Structure 1
Amino acid sequence: MIVWNSKYKGKQQNKIIFSILSFMLLFLTVVIPNSLQLFTAAIMFFCFILSIFIVTFNREMKNILHLYFFSVTVTIIFVIVGFIYGAPSIASQQVLIIYVLSPLFWIYISTGIIQVIGIDKLINWFVVLTILCCVSISLYFFLFITYGSNSISFFKESGNLNLKDGYAGATMFVYGSLIFLVGGFFSSPEIIRNKLLKFLLLGALLCSALTSGRSALILSIPVGILIGILFPYRDKIDMIGRMNTTLNIKVVFILGFSGIVSAFLLSHFTAIDVIYLLQNFIKDLYTAGGTARSEQANALIVGIVDSLGLGVGHGIGVDYVRSYTFPWRYELVWLATILRVGWVGALVYSLPFIWYFKKIYIITKRRELLSSDKFMFSGFFCAFIASNTNPYIESFSFQWMYIIPLIALFARPVILED
């Protein structure tokens, strides 16, 4: 009995430590991504080690692992192909970290978070982290305007802020995290119970998006709202029968009122022209992200055609160079993926996401979609759209946006069975 108690206490201590480290990891990757990369990697490693002794895999989670190992096989094959065709060794190292180690770590850590902490508490964490994200943006603006570019080097080494002629745009990594969070909260505002907090948070997110200069982030607002309208959900508290939907007067009023107030404050208390920002946003959508991305897309398509869609290998680029430091890396991740590993390899990489979309469709059709599922799906969907124009999915600091939603859905049966 004493031995059993000691094992139980040890396991509980592991869970407590894991919970603390997990929150630290999410703070580092959500609020200040890429600012403390080595420290973030260390915390991530410790979380992974602890999660090995905590998590329990059900059948669906085992299927996720099988799909992961399929993708690892594809990665290793095309790393070898790239090496044969002259890819630099640093490219192979980066690929193995981003495509092999980092996803495995996030799969285990995410499973631990869902099973130890729970989805509801995780979303509460996201509320707190979102507030901190908005605070960090305000601090960034204040420091840059008051003390200059050197004062914000912690957030980004070559940080910049453009506030000219009614325009607003800042170079901050946190905007990548907000793509997920904006999509999630604008699709599921009912998930925030406190009405005042709901109004303030949506308003702060809207202001953050409009002043970011990031079309992908601004796009997350209408996409999130649309998903909230189209996807009916069943509240966990109301499991017996009554169906809820976000298409109601209260939600429309909150979203509309938050938008009007935020636009008014920006227009009247700053030099920012909201109409001009929206015009720029529409222009970026029309040009598919601007001239640079269009040229990049054309070059990648030519490379895909020349290779017959079979894949040229990881670490191999095309004539168009986007980064002289890493010339094999591109913002248009999925086109670049098809270039590197071919159509078949890209399909293998996308299988977990295809399965996730199918599962969401099934539970929505059955009227079993929870509000937390909708939050996660909307955040994921917005991040997935953004991955077509930004390389977030190829950064270990942002891969949580693509893995946590899957695990939150597929690991859920373990919680229900317990």
Structure 2
Amino acid sequence: MSDTSRELDVILYGVTGFAGKLTAQYLARAGGGARIGLAGRSAARLRAVRDQLGAAARDWPIVVAEADQPATLDAMAARTRVVITTVGPYTRYGMPLVAACAAAGTDYVDLTGETLFVRESIDRYHEQAAASQARIVHGCGFDSIPSDISVYALYRAAHDDGTGELLDTDLVVRGASGGASGGTLASMVEFLGTTAGDPQAQRQLRDPHTLSSDRRAEPRLGSEPDLSWRRGGDIAAELDGIWTAGFAMAPVNTRIVRRSNGLLGWAYGRRFRYAEHLSCGSSAAAPALAGLATGLSKASFAVGGHLVRLVPPALLERILPKPGTGPSQSRRENGYYRIETYTTTSGGARYRVEMAQQGDPGYQATSVLLGESALALALDRDALPDRYGVLTPAAAMGDVLLARLPAAGVTLEVTRLH
């Protein structure tokens, strides 16, 4: 249901960037009658994008707003029920918009995978957003909706069956194909470079509960390594014969999932333990591949930032793809991801959820996930829980997304195994 007290339902901020254009294209196809506006720094460039979106977007308003001009962000937030932002790196450009939305009582979604940005957002604006009844929802792209919503689906199945709380829960990426954009690589370089020499940042990144809603109330489960290689059969009998590496995005996604558990009153359980893995197959070389992949992921977090800081900025600009560029249309359309998440409950039941989507995970698929998150907040408000502040996708709109995503072409199937 639209909120007629605001001029617009959704404003997409950053539409001239690579991810922003794809999200605009998705909203033009699947907007469902939402009142949508396009925002960015240049009215001329915004109009050029709008002109490519077809008849559905012909009358979408143009909104000029800039990250370094807070008054323009305040005005933008006041006009709409929901803001989508694809403007990163978020640690550099994101916080003023979070502030504007928290002050205006405007819902907000982004596609960030920047854990320390999310932590700062919680520290600075959770209470204000809760008071203004704004939902600030980070991680609404491939990072971290497949992780967060898959676990939420398992929780709903166990809850509905009365089989107890979730115990060991493991996501396994069974297959994925895609590419990287200039904007994503710029965010990675920014993240690595700014955290490498900061001991406090490094401690936060190592803390498995760094995004916790109440750090002192978190269950103490011993070691929870982010990146480890394992036999598939040690995760689930159905994976016997394969080897898995630590999934490179686990240090981001696991924090979001654990925050969901806290925001939901530890509904998943006080013994809920979560990890993410990448399938390396069952060949003779699989164990070595799993070990190598895990080692490379660990090295990228351990020393990547120090290496970035040694490279002159001018050289980095020449080496990296330019912001606004990304995978070709063919690669985007032929990309995909397929994940399986397994859990065992305190009542002895076992479940698996399979989630899959056609399209490059970071861009084509993310544009659908991001767009559907915004539409859920804008159009399905009567079905959302009365939960506000800096949230996760599952805590903000779990049940609504479970209904919306399959209708948007996302496979989401839960099976009881035992």
TM-score range, shorter chain: under 0.3
TM-score by length of structure 1 reads 0.27
Give the structure with the higher percent strand.
2
Which structure has greater helix proportion? 1
TM-score (norm 2): 0.27
